[in-house]
Amino acid sequence: MKNLNIAVIHGPNLNLLGTREPGIYGAETLDQINKEIEQEAKKCGATTEFYQSNIEGQLVDYIHSCAGKIDGIVINAGAYTHYSIALRDAIAAVNIPAVEVHLSNIYKREEFRHTSVIAPVCIGQISGFGAYSYILGLHALLHALGQASS
């Protein structure tokens, strides 16, 4: 079976995990979460590439750079989820299967967080399971790519 290469993309403010509103986002740091994702991906025969930026254009550029070298994307676009047509269009343009993830349950939060402009170009969305949302997203993506995780 092909060794799949998965990009894990983190949007704005996720670099502050561990200290940013731990009651909402948990106490794990972004580095800790990335290590957990990497370990889980290895168990499933996949490799991971991580990227985080607080700048919308840099996220768009990174998504563009995934074309031809990345098999799937797990993305937590942070606040850009709710209004970045540029990220939505970048995901659609590269035609790489993507799963949207969120640490918190966006539907239990403020009304403006209930809308995702990137969801229509993603194969699915997972929210509300803290850092485990990324693991669930990884497994869902691998399943959709035909590399069912064990």
- Burial-class residue 57 by CB neighbours within 10 Å (0-12, 13-18, 19+): exposed
> Known catalytic residue: 132?
no
* Domain extent listing, the chain: 4-144
The amino acid at 92: A
Work out the widest C-alpha separation in the chain, in whole angstroms.
43
For the chain, 150 residues long, give each residue's pLDDT as a single digit of tens.
Answer: 578 999 999 999 899 877 766 666 666 889 999 999 999 999 999 999 999 999 999 999 999 999 999 999 999 999 999 889 999 999 999 999 999 999 877 766 667 666 799 999 999 999 999 999 999 999 999 999 997 544
Q: Is 102 a catalytic residue?
A: yes
Q: Is the pTM of this model over 0.85?
A: yes
Catalytic, out of 62, 102, 134, 139: 102
- Kindly name the residue from 25, 51, 62, 80 that is annotated as catalytic: 25
- Looking at residue 20, what is its pLDDT? 65
Question: Could you tell me which CATH class the domain 4-144 is placed in?
Answer: alpha beta
Task: Please report the pLDDT score of residue 112 as a whole number.
Answer: 65
